[in-house]
Amino acid sequence: MLRHHIKLISVTFLIAIGFCCCLTVSSDTRPKSYGYYRLPTSLKPEVYTLKIMTKLEDPSNLMFAGEVDLLFKVLSDTDNITLHVQNLTIDEKRTELKKYDDNSTLYCIKDSTILEEHDYYIISLCQPLQKDEMYTLTLAFKAPLNQRLHGYYRSSYLDKSTNRTKWLSITQFEPAYARSAFPCFDEPNYKAKFKIWLGHHKALTALSNMPLERQELIAELPGYVWSVFEESVPMSTYLVAYSVNDFTYKSSGDNGVMFRTWSRPEAMNQCDYAAEIGPQLLMFYENRFGIKFPLKKLDQIAIPDFEAGAMENWGLITYRETTLLFAPNISSESNRERIATVIAHELAHQWFGNLVTMKWWSDLWLNEGFATYMSNLGVDYLNPDWELLNEDAMDNILGVFKYDAHINSHPISQPIEATQQINERFDTISYKKGSAVLRMLHMILGEEAFFEGIRHYLMINMFNNAEQDDLWNAFTDRAHLYKRIEPGYDMKTIMDSWTLQVGYPLVKVIRNYDTATVEISQQRFLLNNSQSVNDNDKCWWTPLSFTTATKKDFATNHSLHWLECKEGKKNIKINLENLANKGEWIIFNVQISGLYRVIYDENNWILLNRTLNSNKYNDIHVLNRAQLIEDVLSLAWGGYMDYNTPLDMLQYLKQENKYIPWYTALQGLANVDRLLKNFPTPYGFFSKFLVDIILPVYNSLDGLNNTIKATEISQVKLKHKMLMAKWACYLKIDDCVQTAVKYFQEWKQSSVNRIPVDSRVIVYCTAIKHGDRSDWEFLWQRLQESNVATERRTLIQALSCSRNSTLLKAYIDLIFDENKYIRKQDSAAAFGAVVRNEVSFPAARDYLIEHIDQLHEFYGPTSHDLTSLLSSVAGQIINTEDMNLIQSLLARKRDFFKEYQKSVSNALETIQLNIGWINRNTDILQRYLVKRTSGDLH
């Protein structure tokens, strides 16, 4: 505990006088001697005593003021203190520096400057600080509660009982926004303990990472109290969290941890599901990892305005309302699934990220990849009947295969050399590729070695920081112990090939049917095989598993052979003998246990195709059926083969009764649909092909009707039914549109919504698409009245389905209206939905170009939402005229996107891929589909 405490009157005094003598931290023109993007290593923070006074009574002046006592140790002699400050007003007359064991002597401060590029606040001293000594620095500061959805910011909700807006405060510090709330060493490796005091009106509640220790009245500010929290465990600044609000909570769990789920009072009845599963998941992870949750309490809280899906702050996890709150009879089963997955993800972070934290953001995947993969295991533990383990694996792999096949992708672990680069790393690569690589590692090592390695990694690094080499060391030890890899192999050599280089391999399998040998090689897969890129030096340690038509062994999914990467010998081919008889197929990558695609010789494709399009299609494991579909569609998309093979193969789907192959197929076919629908003649033939394969399955699942209750069929069957109904209504198959419109009109006329909950997203969109202005306005009114965030998200998406261009243009204006009909956090998704509607795409494209300045101001300079708008538009561009418009925009507004160059490059590459695909495939697909329709294919 600190020996020098902040006096109780200080923050009250600051509030009262409004900081009479202050300096706002802003740019300074004096020369700086230190310009490195990482803090100096001369100081180490030990304990922060942080006092924050928050006043929420005056909406026109929502401010906070604070003081911090920072106890730090000197690791090497230094004549300055350099820490992070961003957009804070510092009262420099109140700055004090004292030796920890000499409370009476103030150290002389020469001056203070700032280095804006890195948010450095540099305090120059009259005499050096001595190595191994401890000092206490006191700083006083204030700032507005911002509206940027990061740092220490404001949120609000409408109390419908009083029709008044209620305000609350909340933090979002990841990755580097703690510095905008209090002066600190804002890098993940500077772990310290925190003693937090929150000043607030006594009618409100204060929450922070740790349990409340006590409350103290503030005599100088009647009606206000200090909420004082217990000292924290050592943690990084980005995990600090606090809030002042008027929320209520539901308690749950009985495993020694006080577990509470918080929301605004009117949403309290939506907390039951999250409160039920949270403690169960916490106990599951404790048992899995062999380490108890180290805090006394865990709060999870639903915030009305929250940019991320959720944030894993230790002991106070923050969520969007859509990812925590479930309203029975309103929220769908897909909403329930999403909520379970997000809660499982954030609770996994309590170990991966919080207990053991990456040393620097280059290894962000150690947090996000682990949390993503462990959440899959956690949800499967809760609900094995959901069959989510395979589905999540496929979903992650699909995301990686698409994103990482761009030339402009990046390695999982890549140097980050500026704070501004961090936000771009929260992407598919860190989350989904990180998860997919861990799944592959799990398959290689097996259950025991994998989890023994994890426990070892956590135990030796707990409360500290780690990098990926620490993980590889733990896994190498266990891999050899359990004899899962050869003695001469080590996990660093193997896994670095997956984490330190961009992309993933296409494994080429060429059979010699006369000699019964198989030649196997690898190359990087790209979304356009004709792209000129020097990837000859790319090579992955690729685990090869396989089976044949005779063996049908889909249980042995660990590596049977390796494609190795010997130093200086890239892309080595290997030859295997006597794998299969001449007339039987071979499948490599059993259950997609490895992160790679496979391309076979023509005859093996024919053998596989023949089995799939027969009554023996179930001979092939469901994941490998999905894999074959994904591989052939993507190989055709990239120009590695023509479309004859995939379109022949997909005929088998008429008899496919499993969800995952259909989900995979329709993901791939949606890409074709997205581009081809701009060309009426070939699209007419393509849509007939889709109708032909979808109609039998749509009918077998009983169409779109009122018997689709979650209690009547399994979760996975329900999802399959909804997927087919979505496409059936889109393609106007059978009775789908009429049924949807009938449901909607009955609701509209009676004002009682009897539309089955899980079909509402389909019914709303279909009814709006085929309806009139009154239908749209009816749904818009429902949006304004809704108290359920998951329902609001469904309504927002459905409103974009109209075919009325005037309505849609007005809708774009409403998305960004300052009256906040749609919250800022939902605006990018709402705009993206409008962009994907071909009727409103031109208006959305023009809106982005014409309102770029307002949008930049709306989101703020550090938000990634502006690039989300750009990516949405880029995905729909199919001609050079529109491409030139976007390139011109980017040239004019280069500064707006300077922190997101990777996202900009990917957006431009997407446009080029779209145009290239159209030029290559439109005519070829039309000729093939015409022949199929006329029966000329043999």
Can you say which residues are annotated as belonging to the binding site?
345, 349, 368
Q: Encode 728-758: b = buried (16+ Cβ within 10 Å), e = exposed.
A: bbbbebbbbbebbbebbeebbeeeebebbbb
Compute how many other C-beta atoms are within 10 angstroms of the C-beta atom of residue 294: 15
Burial (Cβ within 10 Å: 0-12, 13-18, ≥19) of residue 626 = buried
Q: Which DSSP string corresponds to 228-265?
A: EEPPPPSB-GGG--EEEE--EEEEE--SSSEEEEEE-G
Select which of 46, 174, 230, 346 is catalytic.
346
**Distance from C-alpha of 88 to C-alpha of 283, rounded to nearest angstrom:** 41
Of 752, 743, 808, residue with least CA distance to 780? 808
Whether 777 is catalytic: no
**Distance from C-alpha of 852 to C-alpha of 892, rounded to nearest angstrom:** 10
Distances (CA, A) of 6 to 136, 224, 290, 868: 11, 17, 40, 44
Distances (CA, A) of 679 to 638, 685, 730, 878: 20, 11, 17, 11
Dmax over CA atoms of the chain, in Å, equals 96
Distances (CA, A) of 63 to 66, 594, 741, 747, 925: 10, 52, 49, 45, 61
476: left (phi over 0), alpha (psi -120 to 50) or beta: alpha
Of 854, 858, 852, 859, residue with least CA distance to 873? 852
Question: How many CA atoms lie within 13 Å of 719's alpha carbon, on the beta-carbon side?
Answer: 19
Residues with Cβ < 8 Å from 724, sequence gap 6 or more? 662, 694, 697, 698, 701
Of 905, 824, 899, residue with least CA distance to 862? 899
Annotated binding site for Zn(2+): 345, 349, 368
**Distance from C-alpha of 415 to C-alpha of 430, rounded to nearest angstrom:** 13
Is 695 in contact with 703 (CB distance < 8 Å)?
no
Q: Which residues pair with 600 in a beta bridge?
A: 509
Which H or E element spans position 148? Answer: none
Tell me the catalytic residues. Answer: 346
